[in-house]
Chain A
Amino acid sequence: MAAAPVLVARRLRKAYGDLTAVAGIDLTVAEGETYGLLGPNGAGKTTTISMLCGVLEPDGGEVTVAGRAITATDPGARAAIGYVPQEIALYPDLSARENLQFFGKLQGLRGARLDDRVSAVLATVGLADRADDRIEGYSGGMQRRANIAVGLLHEPRLLVLDEPTAGVDPQSRNAILDAVDALGREGLAVLYTTHYMEEAERLCDRVGIIDTGVLVAEGTRRELLDQLGTADRVRVEGTGPLDRLAAACRALDGVAEAAVTDGAVDLTVSGGRRLIAVLVDAAERVGVAVTGVEVVEPDLEAVFLHLTGRALRDAS
């Protein structure tokens, strides 16, 4: 039997003047499911989750969490959500414990229950021994972990994490990803936004790809990769006019997509290995000195490229 949906959003819309930030998004996240919202900066991820969490009034559409509609007039419905904003949303001049106690009170926790939950989440994020230090004295990674702890404090049904690894070192990033992974396995519904394809692939049961406010694709990793058909991804590294090489490649038979990223041309092709010689020949013709060619397994990056015509990193 499928797990019950915790978050249901229907036809969610938001515009700022002439700019449409979110254009009719539908999504559901079930109990115990980790859902990744993958897209470049400015794609509409933060606007979407701000509406899902009730801090931004949508222009249209509806959201329910744990069966209760999220509206401006019913703040109580937000108690089912643990929201972790992209910024470090903590008071820097207060300790982690003081921050947690304040936000815990806003969630209705009091007395011994509040103290217990504060201690529990501090242990969960590995900050118990630094609990009484001011946030401003923490490293970036520790601040991120404290930021997440606030979202877990009141044991929500849905945890919403908005790019929680932005700007942290690899070690802290791994710790955060492990913690989120564990929470999902414990049965929490998790909505996780990121523009890092690797995070979405590692953590998420399902991924929604968002671009310019539109959910362009949604499904499990396998389902999304299937959209590429039999296509391979080839990466041609070299020096010289890479733009001309990308243009030349697009004209070749068997090349579906070609985009320049990080000193290389990323291609989506049919029959990757067979085409390598043709690609090298094209590079020589446009004056690109090839320094390496790699045939890579298809991933969500390739799916994004396939769906939007742009590389995810470029779009970010």
Chain B
Amino acid sequence: MSSTRATLDIAALQLRRRLRDRSAIIQGILAPVLLALIISLAFGGGTSFSASIAVVDADGSAVSAPIVAALVGGGGDGAAEDAGVRFVREVDEPTATRAIDDRDVAAAIVLPAGFGAAVAAGEPPQIRVLVDAGAELAGDVAEAVARGLAARLDATRVAVGATLALDPSLAADAGTVIATAATAPTAVALGESAFGAGFDPVTYFAPSMAILFGFLTLGAGARAVIVERREGTLVRVRAAPVTDRAVLGGITLAVLLLGLVSFVTVWLVTAVAFGARWGEPLAVFVVIVATVLAIAGISTLITALARTEAQADSLSAIVAFGFALLGGGFLSPGDLPDVLAVVARLTPNGWALAAFAELSAGASGLAAVWPSVVVLLGIGVVTGAVGLGRIRLGMA
């Protein structure tokens, strides 16, 4: 019989067995969706990020007033509102501190006394940020706003300095000119955020959990070689007029299809039922395919290296949770330490999550994620080829 037909028959049998015992449905679809929702609730209490940040004008100068007014009045391009951030005015720093303690606001940006004078004198302005220790993401946003503001003030100061060198008569208004030019930096700072449309925990943790459970689901599929050897069915399949390549091809095809269906189902369920914003569908699908291929390749390699079913189980669990931890699968992006951000790129999880984050943030098309896709495909092809090359179907 043709190898292609045998491959399809073997793949169909593998899928039927996995679906019949329901482990694939539980592990590949229910578990990632549920865990993504639970972790999302723990991180965000809902499906979208929102925070109030206090702004204090302790200077009360002509330089600080327009900046505070711009922030509180929703100036700029509206990115702050889109990101779920609301700025509220507080009269002084102690009041802002109490508001943080009372959880009325998550952070505060303070323009201290002497701020305007420092700007007018061409000195670096001091901006303080107060943060609720329990609201790290809001603190990150407040710091980003403050840094953006400072950067814009500094750039404007340099530009105005150059202008004054040509026309010293404008020097009296220098501070006001700088402040006026600096009322837009909030938009710049937030526009650079990875979550331009707001951080949505479900959107982040759905792919994260799909990858984690993908390792477990696909690992179980790849272990079919070991299971069938134990059950004795492998020797009977090999006694039929089919090639070993067709046998391995059938098992691999089943693993890939199972992974793809699981991942796509998680995508559709979280998008339709929970409003997760995965991004442009074609690009999302391509990233999913590349991710599944990477997971399948690694699972095949694990199967090839393991001598027993128990060994393969243990290795799969270690790899699944290890990669999830190192790849940032359990942390929101803003909470990822610098070291982990680097280490994450050594894992397929890190590359995949980076690509999904890009797409969910509004990046359009494959152009934005092709490096991740290439790396994931590379991981899948290399580990899969090595794994398939090492697997021995014959008797031990």
CB distance from A81 to the nearest CB of B (A): 7
- Interface size class of chain B, counting residues whose CB lies under 8 Å from the partner chain: 20 to 34
Chain B binder among A88-96, A185-193, A239-247 = A88-96
Bound together, the chains give a CA A30 to CA B231 distance in angstroms of 32
A108 near B: Cβ within 8 Å? yes
Bound together, the chains give a CA A85 to CA B238 distance in angstroms of 11
B236 touches A91 (CB 8 A): no
- Interfacial chain B residues near A55, Cβ < 8 Å: 235, 238-239, 394-395
Interface residues of A in 122-140 (CB under 8 A from B): none
Interface residues of A in 164-179 (CB under 8 A from B): none
- Interfacial chain B residues near A197, Cβ < 8 Å: none
CB distance from B110 to the nearest CB of A (A): 66
- Interfacial chain B residues near A57, Cβ < 8 Å: 394
- Interfacial chain B residues near A85, Cβ < 8 Å: 232, 235-236, 239
Bound together, the chains give a CA A83 to CA B236 distance in angstroms of 7
- Interfacial chain B residues near A103, Cβ < 8 Å: 236-237, 240
B6 near A: Cβ within 8 Å? yes
Q: What total count of A-B pairs have CB within 8 Å?
A: 75
B144 near A: Cβ within 8 Å? no
A53 near B: Cβ within 8 Å? yes
- Looking at A72, A81, A102, the one whose CB has the most chain B CB atoms below 10 A away is A102
Bound together, the chains give a CA A53 to CA B16 distance in angstroms of 28
Nearest chain A residue, comparing its CB with the CB of B238? A55
- Interfacial chain B residues near A56, Cβ < 8 Å: 394-395
A50 near B: Cβ within 8 Å? yes
A88 touches B9 (CB 8 A): no
A105 near B: Cβ within 8 Å? yes
Nearest chain A residue, comparing its CB with the CB of B395? A56
Nearest chain A residue, comparing its CB with the CB of B250? A106
CB distance from B226 to the nearest CB of A (A): 15
B52 near A: Cβ within 8 Å? no
Bound together, the chains give a CA A187 to CA B395 distance in angstroms of 31
- Interfacial chain B residues near A76, Cβ < 8 Å: 241
Given contacts A85-B232, A106-B6, whether A93 and B17 have CB atoms under 8 Å apart is yes
- Looking at B10, B20, B235, B242, the one whose CB has the most chain A CB atoms below 10 A away is B235
Given contacts A55-B394, A94-B17, A102-B9, whether A107 and B231 have CB atoms under 8 Å apart is no
A106 touches B17 (CB 8 A): no
Per-residue CB contact flags for chain A residues 70-104 toward chain B (1 = under 8 Å, else 0) read 00100111110101011111111110000000110
Nearest chain A residue, comparing its CB with the CB of B5? A105
Per-residue CB contact flags for chain A residues 45-72 toward chain B (1 = under 8 Å, else 0) read 0000010011111000000000000001
CB distance from A264 to the nearest CB of B (A): 36
B4 near A: Cβ within 8 Å? no
- Interfacial chain A residues near B394, Cβ < 8 Å: 55-57
A106 touches B1 (CB 8 A): yes
A106 touches B242 (CB 8 A): yes
Chain A interface, number of residues (Cβ within 8 angstroms): 31
Bound together, the chains give a CA A94 to CA B1 distance in angstroms of 23
A150 near B: Cβ within 8 Å? yes
B13 near A: Cβ within 8 Å? yes
B48 near A: Cβ within 8 Å? no
Given contacts A55-B394, A57-B394, A150-B236, whether A89 and B241 have CB atoms under 8 Å apart is no
A92 touches B231 (CB 8 A): yes
B243 near A: Cβ within 8 Å? yes
Q: B240 is contacted by which of A50, A78, A90, A93 (Cβ under 8 Å)? A: A78
- Interfacial chain B residues near A72, Cβ < 8 Å: 244
Bound together, the chains give a CA A78 to CA B394 distance in angstroms of 16
Nearest chain B residue, comparing its CB with the CB of A77? B241
CB distance from B16 to the nearest CB of A (A): 8
B308 near A: Cβ within 8 Å? no
Given contacts A50-B395, A56-B395, A106-B6, whether A81 and B231 have CB atoms under 8 Å apart is no
CB distance from B8 to the nearest CB of A (A): 9
Known interface pairs A55-B395, A85-B236, A89-B231; 6 further A-B residue pairs with C-beta atoms within 8 A, sorted by A's residue number:
A55-B394, A85-B235, A87-B231, A102-B9, A103-B236, A105-B9
Q: Across chains A and B, which 4 residue pairs bring their CB atoms closest together, nearest first?
A: A87-B232, A106-B240, A89-B236, A89-B232
- Could you list which residues of chain B lie within 8 angstroms of chain A, going by C-beta atoms? 1, 5-6, 9-10, 13, 16-17, 20-21, 231-233, 235-244, 394-395
A-B contact pairs, 15 of them (CB 8 A): A53-B239, A55-B395, A56-B395, A75-B242, A75-B243, A85-B239, A87-B232, A89-B232, A89-B233, A89-B235, A103-B240, A105-B1, A106-B1, A106-B6, A106-B242
